[in-house]
Amino acid sequence: MRYIDDDLTGKTILITGGAGFIGSNLAFYFQAKHPDAKVVLLDSFRSGETLSNGNLKSFGHFKNLIGFSGEVISGDINDKTLLASLQADYRFDYIFHEAAISDTTALEQDLMIQTNVNAFKDLLDLAVAHGANMVYASSGATYGAASSPQTVGREAPQNVYGFSKLMMDNIARDYMTRGQISIVGLRYFNVYGPREFFKNKTASMVVQFGHQVLSKKVPKLFEGSDAILRDFIYIEDIIQANIKAMRPKASGVYNVGTGKARSFQAIVDILQKELEIDLGCEYIPNPYVGSYQFHTEADIEPTKSGLDYAPRFELEDGIKAYVPEIRRLFEEEL
């Protein structure tokens, strides 16, 4: 589905984090729906470098881009020389900023602030210099344990990742007041779908549970999982929000979810139905009681009015669309 009618012929689009989950999906959207646009991807592709928690520093993977025909640049958004060359060598019309240290369990506060906050300001300066509209990834993690529905203006981050995204929003609002370019921050809730597999342990529980079931392993859920609810959103609706944010009615920070909270139990039940494998479930004690979000639900009314956004995928629809890719990954990658 094409989400805007704008003719992007001759337009140049920069996508940071272009080899990651959301960035790569954006790249293929433009390639399919707006083939006359020039798309440039920037990504700090994965190496063996890890954070102190043992997770990879970068999740960018070449396999997410197989079939992409645009330009790919390997580089770090913290590299000011690289950013200067982007400003001098290109003329961007739109910038989609998806690059980040996105691991919510990362402990490196210095790296998180440098990468997510300071480099974002540099990219905003690049956008202003080029007159490029900016769409960037904020996060539902800004809300922390705030009560549902989570509403912009009621933030309470509980980790440095959520804090860094809130600081990005603060910087963006300062630039918005200048009125030089359109700037939209999108607070993603629990995203799942194709091209997330290479996020490894930080990939959604949809793909992780799917592979457990295909391996004939009984899915393990925390006790009371029918009452642990999240706003799970399929990647196609994330792409919809990004594209519509290219021409918003107003700059701003918007939630991107479905506006409906669903349980982890529902994920397992839907997966087993779609995979035609019934293993039941094993329930284990939740060791995170007291420091665990039991309910997230995005307030998307401002998003509907500000971006003309309307989620298209219920959890059942998204998982059904995703299952063929879950099977393929199981057969080819596992």
pLDDT at position 292 is: 67
Rounded to an integer, the average pLDDT of 58-69 is 97
Q: Which domain holds residue 163?
A: 12-195+233-258+297-312
Q: Establish if 332 belongs to a structural domain.
A: no
> Is 201 considered catalytic here?
no
Within a domain: residue 330? no
The rounded distance, in Å, linking the Cα atoms of 206 and 164 is 26
Residues 6+ apart with CB under 8 A from 169: 138, 142, 185, 253
Could you tell me the pLDDT band of residue 139, with boundaries at 50, 70 and 90? very high
pLDDT band at 90 (very low <50, low <70, confident <90, very high): very high
Among 6-15, 49-58, 126-135, 164-173, the minimum mean pLDDT is found in 49-58
Q: What is the CATH number of the domain that holds 151?
A: 3.40.50.720
Residue 6 lies in a domain: no
- Contact present, 274 and 319 (Cβ < 8 Å): yes
Does some domain include residue 325?
Answer: no
291 pLDDT more than 70: no
User: Is 234 a known active-site residue?
Assistant: no
Which residue, chain included where needed, has tokens 């939740």? 286
Mean predicted confidence (pLDDT) in 103-121? 96
Task: State pLDDT tens for residues 292-323.
Answer: 678 999 999 999 999 999 999 999 999 999 99
Rg of the chain on CA atoms, in Å: 19
Q: In what order do the strands lie in the sheet with 38-43?
A: 71-74, 38-43, 12-16, 94-97, 133-139, 183-188, 252-256
pTM of the model: 0.97
Task: Decide: 43 and 18 in contact? Cβ < 8 Å.
Answer: yes
For 133-148, b/e burial (b = at least 16 CB within 10 A) is: bbbbbbbbbbbbebeb
Is the pLDDT at 34 greater than 70? The verdict is: yes
Catalytic residue among 161, 175, 188, 322, which? Answer: 161
What b-and-e string marks burial along 207-240, b requiring 16 or more CB atoms within 10 Å of the CB? Answer: bbbbbbbbeeeebebbeebeebbbbbbbbbbbbb
Contact 73, 40 (CB under 8 A): yes
Name the one residue in this structure whose structure tokens are 């990362």: 106
Write down the catalytic residue from 38, 165, 199, 244. 199
The answer to whether residue 48 scores a pLDDT higher than 90 is: no
Residues 6+ positions from 334 with CB-CB distance below 8 Å: 211, 215
Whether 85 maps to a domain, the answer reads: yes
Residue 274 covered by a domain: no
Q: What pairing do the DSSP bridges indicate for beta strands 229-230 and 262-263?
A: antiparallel
Total domains, the chain: 1
In a domain, 217, yes or no: no
d(CA 55, CA 38): 33
State the pLDDT at residue 85.
Answer: 98
**Where in the chain does DSSP place strands (E)?**
12-16, 38-43, 71-74, 94-97, 133-139, 183-188, 190-192, 220-222, 229-230, 232-234, 252-256, 262-263, 282-284
> Is residue 279 in a domain?
no
Which whole number is the average pLDDT over 68-93?
A: 98
Give the pLDDT band of residue 290 (cuts 50, 70, 90). low
Query: Which residues are CB-neighbours of 306 under 8 A, at least 6 positions away?
Result: 248, 249, 250, 252, 254
Position 262 scores a pLDDT of: 98
3-state secondary structure of 22: helix
Q: Is 139 helix (H, G, I), strand (E, B) or coil?
A: strand
Closest CA to 254 of 94, 120, 138, 100: 138
What confidence tens digit (pLDDT) does each residue in 220-258 have? 999 999 999 999 999 999 999 999 999 999 999 999 999
d(CA 256, CA 137): 10
Average pLDDT over residues 95-107: 94
First-to-last alpha carbon distance for the chain, in angstroms, is 31
